[in-house]
Amino acid sequence: MYWMYQRFVTFTGACFEVTMGFLRRHPSTLALGPVSLVPAVCWAVLVSFCLYANQQKAAEMVDADELRMVQAKMLFLVFSLYWVWQFVASTVHVTVAGAFASWYFFGSRASSVVLSSLRRGFWSAGSVCLGSLIVSILQFIRNLVGGDRNGDGANYLLQMVRRASPSSTRPPALTHHPASRVLPHQPIP
């Protein structure tokens, strides 16, 4: 069986050697991941505080129109979280790809490839932002409608529509307990 996969193993070994050569020459690329987590985590904490405040505000509301407005704000906050995380990840991806390409094609003639690649990444921030917007919209819709990749997630969009209907004036309970989920194959009561 090894003889069938031998050429793939040698190719994988060559890829690892090239990658390790790049990381030995430019170890600062390893710091990009943890450094990029700082703004993303700060944004996640800020969004969490805002979501908590809006949930507390929604718990006190009786008017259905105001409740829908608060729910819309909460959806926008969650969407902004998707977008910022996607933007940070894409920026790191573009920076590392540019640094590796500079090192691969220019070799030892390339100096400060990570910093110059980060600079080029900021120059193309519009493209990264647009691509991140498209990906985050698709991820957001997928998670609203279908849940996770295994297909056993909750259908949050269906719950939101059901709770926002005029027959229901109670505020939504934002809980992730499995008993509170409406699965796609269950009828709505």
Q: CA–CA separation, 168 vs 188, rounded Å?
A: 13
Q: What is the DSSP string of 28-63?
A: THHHHHHHHHHHHHHHHHHHHHHHHHHHHHHHH---
Q: How far is CA 85 from CA 44, 82, 131, 151, 182, in A?
A: 9, 5, 12, 23, 27
Lowest mean pLDDT among 82-96, 106-120, 148-162: 148-162
Q: What is the DSSP string of 98-111?
A: HHHHHHHHHGGG--
- Tell me the pTM: 0.68
User: What domain range is 54 assigned to?
Assistant: 37-169
**Overall number of domains in the chain:** 1
Q: Is residue 180 part of a domain?
A: no
Residue 129: pLDDT band (50, 70, 90) is very high
Q: Which of 60, 75, 81, 98 has the alpha carbon at shortest distance from 144? A: 75
Q: Is residue 83 part of a domain?
A: yes
Q: Is residue 153 part of a domain?
A: yes
Q: Is residue 148 part of a domain?
A: yes
For residue 84, the model assigns a pLDDT of 93
Q: Which of 40-44, 152-156, 170-174 is the most confident on average? A: 40-44
- Contact, 128 vs 116, CB < 8 A? no
Q: Is residue 19 part of a domain?
A: no
Residue labelled with tokens 């259908």: 155
Q: Is residue 9 part of a domain?
A: no
Q: CA–CA separation, 146 vs 139, rounded Å?
A: 10
Q: Give the tens place of pLDDT for each residue, 34-82.
A: 888 999 999 999 999 998 998 888 888 778 888 888 888 888 998 999 9
Mean pLDDT of the chain: 77
Between 62 and 95, the higher pLDDT residue: 95
Quote the tokens at residue 78. Answer: 């969650």
Q: CA–CA separation, 99 vs 70, rounded Å?
A: 43
Do you know the residue count of the chain?
189
DSSP category for residue 171 = P
Q: Which of 2-11, 15-24, 102-111, 180-189 is the most confident on average? A: 15-24
- Contact, 88 vs 121, CB < 8 A? no
Q: Is residue 53 part of a domain?
A: yes
